[in-house]
Amino acid sequence: MKKEAKTFASWNLHSLRFRLAAAMLLVFLAALLASSALDRLNTKPVSPDQEPYQDALILGAFSLAVLLLIWLVSQWSLKPLARASDEAARAGPRHPGVRLSTKSLPTEITPLVAAMNGALERLEHAYEAERRFTADAAHELRTPLSVLKLRLQRARIDNAPDWKAIEGDLAQMTHLVNQLLNMARKEQAGREATSRPVNLARIAREAASMIAPLAEAANRRLLVDLPETLPLLGRADDLRDMLLNVLDNALAHGSGTITLLGMQAETLCRIEIGDEGPGVAPALREAMFQRFRKAQPSSPGTGLGLAIVREVAESHGGSVSFADAATGLVRIELPCKKNLLF
Whether 68 is in a domain gets the answer yes
Q: Which domain holds residue 162?
A: 117-192
List of residues 6+ apart from 73 with CB closer than 8 A: 16, 19, 20, 23
Per-residue pLDDT at 225? 94
186 plus 275 within the same structural domain? no
Per-residue pLDDT at 39? 61
- d(C-alpha 2, C-alpha 17), whole Å: 20
Whether 340 is in a domain gets the answer no
Whether 105 is in a domain gets the answer no
Q: What is the pLDDT of residues 87-136, one digit of tens each?
A: 777 777 777 778 887 777 777 777 888 888 888 887 887 777 777 777 76
Task: Kindly report which listed range (18-27, 40-49, 87-96, 311-320) carries the lowest average pLDDT score.
Answer: 40-49
Per-residue pLDDT at 16? 62
Per-residue pLDDT at 195? 80
Q: What is the pLDDT of residues 190-224, one digit of tens each?
A: 666 678 899 999 999 999 999 999 999 999 999 99
Report whether 217 contacts 323 (CB < 8 A).
Answer: no
Per-residue pLDDT at 43? 54
255 plus 325 within the same structural domain? yes
92 plus 17 within the same structural domain? yes
Q: Which residues pair with 268 in a beta bridge?
A: 265, 335
Q: pLDDT band at residue 36, thresholds of 50, 70 and 90? A: low
- d(C-alpha 81, C-alpha 252), whole Å: 58
- 218 or 178, which is more confident: 218
Per-residue pLDDT at 181? 76
The CATH number assigned to the domain holding 313 equals: 3.30.565.10
128 plus 258 within the same structural domain? no
Run of H or E including 143: helix 110-158
Whether 209 is in a domain gets the answer yes
- d(C-alpha 223, C-alpha 230), whole Å: 18
Q: What is the pLDDT of residues 245-274, one digit of tens each?
A: 899 888 888 889 999 999 998 789 999 999
pLDDT cut 70: percent of the chain above it: 72
Q: What is the mean pLDDT of residues 318-328?
A: 80
76 plus 147 within the same structural domain? no
37 plus 81 within the same structural domain? yes
Q: Which of 151, 172, 192 is the last residue of a domain?
A: 192
pLDDT at 27 over 70: no
| Pairing of the two strands 231-234 and 196-199 | antiparallel
Report whether 186 contacts 221 (CB < 8 A).
Answer: no
Whether 33 is in a domain gets the answer yes
171 plus 221 within the same structural domain? no
179 plus 242 within the same structural domain? no
Q: What is the mean pLDDT of residues 13-29?
A: 67
Per-residue pLDDT at 341? 65
170 plus 207 within the same structural domain? no
Whether 127 is in a domain gets the answer yes
Reduced to 3 states (helix: H, G, I; strand: E, B; else coil), residue 41 is helix
Q: Which of 192, 207, 224 is the last residue of a domain?
A: 192
Q: What is the domain count for the chain?
A: 3
Q: What is the mean pLDDT of residues 43-51?
A: 52
pLDDT cut 90: percent of the chain above it: 20
Q: Edge-to-edge, what's the strand order for the sheet holding 319-322?
A: 222-225, 258-265, 268-274, 330-335, 319-322
- 293 or 10, which is more confident: 293
Q: Which of 173, 192, 211 is the last residue of a domain?
A: 192
Whether 341 is in a domain gets the answer no
Per-residue pLDDT at 3? 45
206 plus 157 within the same structural domain? no
pLDDT at 162 over 80: yes
pLDDT at 80 over 90: no
142 plus 223 within the same structural domain? no
Per-residue pLDDT at 17? 63
* Mean per-residue pLDDT of the chain: 77
Q: Which of 325, 321, 128, 317 is nearest to 239 (CA)?
A: 317
Report whether 165 contacts 151 (CB < 8 A).
Answer: yes
Q: What is the pLDDT of residues 132-150, one digit of tens each?
A: 777 767 766 777 788 888 8
List of residues 6+ apart from 218 with CB closer than 8 A: 251
Most confident residue range from 5-9, 161-165, 255-259 = 255-259
Whether 111 is in a domain gets the answer no
- 88 or 229, which is more confident: 229
331 plus 202 within the same structural domain? yes
Q: What is the mean pLDDT of residues 3-10?
A: 44
Report whether 223 contacts 251 (CB < 8 A).
Answer: no
